[in-house]
């Protein structure tokens, strides 16, 4: 009761809008992402649903994040419940991520389960908070390594390059961030100049 109708996220329109705003062709995005033009066309027309890995490749090619593309996939709403995916068990060592917030909002949250590409570097425009719900992670940021266990958090100011990896099986990390479309960094800088 009070939930939105359970519908799969349709990211095609969000991918197309982002690609067009950057004035890129499907061929350029295909070259950058390593995915085929027909597959990208199917994604944009919601005839194919990309895996997490494919969506991250598309997001990287479009200079954004998978979370942002997913967030732009649904219209904004004032109250929304995102239910845990109890029907789809997460396989042991395989990484899994899910958006905890649907729609185009000022804040986004995602849950990452398992490990992912530890060599992948992240840099978000706005601030973010990483919370270790279960397990343990090692995070490299600003030339230092931080080890976090269950219940620990790490706050990263916008623009800080970082990478992280799970150091324990079945680790779950919740990342809460100010959305990329918000000009929080510019506002913060303006506040310092005063």
Residue 57: strand, helix, or coil: helix
Quote the crossing angle between the two packed helices 52-61 and 26-33, to the nearest 10°.
120
Residue 183 above 70 pLDDT?
A: no
Residue 42 above 60 pLDDT?
A: yes
Residue of 26 and 126 predicted with greater confidence: 26
Residue 41 above 60 pLDDT?
A: yes
Residue 87 above 50 pLDDT?
A: no
Contacts of 144 (CB under 8 A, 6+ apart): none
């Amino acid at each position: 009761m009070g939930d939105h109708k359970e519908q799969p996220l349709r990211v095609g329109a969000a991918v197309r809008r982002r690609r067009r705003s950057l004035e890129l062709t499907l061929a350029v995005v295909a070259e950058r992402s390593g995915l085929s033009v027909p597959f990208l066309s199917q994604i944009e027309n919601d005839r194919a649903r990309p895996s997490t890995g494919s969506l991250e490749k598309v997001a990287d090619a479009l200079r954004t994040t998978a979370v942002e593309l997913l967030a732009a996939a649904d219209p904004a709403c004032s109250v929304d419940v995102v239910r845990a995916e109890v029907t789809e068990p997460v396989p042991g060592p395989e990484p899994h991520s899910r958006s905890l917030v649907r729609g185009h909002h000022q804040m986004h949250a995602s849950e990452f389960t398992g490990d992912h590409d530890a060599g992948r570097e992240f840099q978000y425009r706005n601030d973010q908070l990483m919370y270790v719900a279960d397990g343990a992670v090692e995070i490299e940021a600003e030339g230092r390594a931080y080890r976090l266990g269950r219940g620990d958090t790490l706050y990263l100011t916008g623009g800080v390059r970082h990478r992280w990896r799970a150091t324990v099986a079945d680790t779950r990390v919740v990342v809460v961030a100010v959305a990329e479309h918000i000009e929080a960094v510019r506002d913060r800088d303006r506040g310092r100049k005063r």
